[in-house]
Structure 1
Amino acid sequence: MRLSMVVEWSKGSPFRYAWKEGKLRLVAVDQPAPVNYGLIPGLINPADGEEVDAVYLGPPLPPGTRVEGEVVGMVWLADGDHKLVLADATLPKDQELAPLLAWFSPERRARFLSPIEAQAFLKSLGLSL
């Protein structure tokens, strides 16, 4: 399954932006992101009432970039604010996942779930597959 996301925080960059109403605004300077981080426009996660977060594995992409990728899994978090993992079509390698999972605080108990489990999450949100 392929989805499109908007990049808010570029891999390797400390500058974190938020995508609101079709525009980017700088919201923080933080530790550099280990992945391209953003959201799936229009798809709401009931855990936080915000658009579903997503990451794109691969080279850094500028904030505001719309990128399409294969759903290769999901980062499950104990608080329900799960992150979809998109890539060019290959399953992520351990060296790509380790920094991503370590990025989240231990109490969130981050773990990587399969593409099938990610699709079940999407289906629970009402996305037709």
Structure 2
Amino acid sequence: MKVWRGVVEWTAGTRERLVWRGAGLEPLRTEARPAPVNYGCLPGTFNPADGAEVDAVWLGAPRPAGQEVVAAPTGLLHLTDGDHKVIFGERGSAADLQTLLAWFPPDRGAQVLDAGEAQTWLAQVADPAALTAR
């Protein structure tokens, strides 16, 4: 399975959100609610739905903002508007997945797809430099 390089922009349980800009993180804003999961992006990818890098979420324990993570996706959070999120980390916890799904309003049609679907979608939106050979 192929692995990808991601950067955490928003740590689970916090309200302070950063954003990846080219080669580093910059402050974005303080959110009204804390992040339910670690949230970030995959530099070198481009999501046509929002014109930015592909969003990623890391399930499990909080990860500090700015941490780089190299891993294989474990799923894809598919949204009807095309602004999908790649899921990393153990999907064994139903509570983590339910928390993630509940974060999105019902009209966005959030559903979790498998790791193969994540890889297929990423292959369509990635610059080859974003991929880390394994």
Q: Distance in 2 between matches of 1:46 and 1:95?
A: 30
How many matched pairs? 127
The Cα shift of 1:127 comes to 6.1
Q: TM-score, normalised by structure 1?
A: 0.89
Following TM superposition, the consecutive aligned residue runs of length 4 or more in structure 1 with deviations greater than 6 angstroms are none
C-alpha spacing 1:126/1:13, structure 2 compared with 1 (3 Å): closer
Q: Distance in 1 between matches of 2:43 and 2:114?
A: 22
The Cα shift of 1:117 comes to 1.1
Residue type of the alignment partner of 2:125:
L
Matches within 5 A, 1:1-129: 1-30=2-31, 31-87=33-89, 90-125=90-125
| Helix, strand or coil at the partner of 1:100 | helix
| Helix, strand or coil at the partner of 2:71 | strand
For residues 15-49 of structure 1, the C-alpha deviation after alignment (integer angstroms, 9 at most, x for no partner) is: 11111122222212111111110000011111111
Q: TM-score, normalised by structure 2?
A: 0.86
Q: CA RMSD in A?
A: 1.7
Residue type of the alignment partner of 1:102:
A
The structure whose RCO (Cα within 8 Å, separation 6+) is larger is 2
Q: Distance in 2 between matches of 1:13 and 1:57?
A: 15
Q: Could you tell me whether the CA contact under 8 Å between 2:59 and 2:91 is conserved in 1? A: no
Which 5+ residue runs of structure 1 have no aligned equivalent?
none
Q: Could you tell me whether the CA contact under 8 Å between 1:72 and 1:92 is conserved in 2? A: no
Q: Could you tell me whether the CA contact under 8 Å between 1:56 and 1:69 is conserved in 2? A: no
Residue type of the alignment partner of 1:55:
V
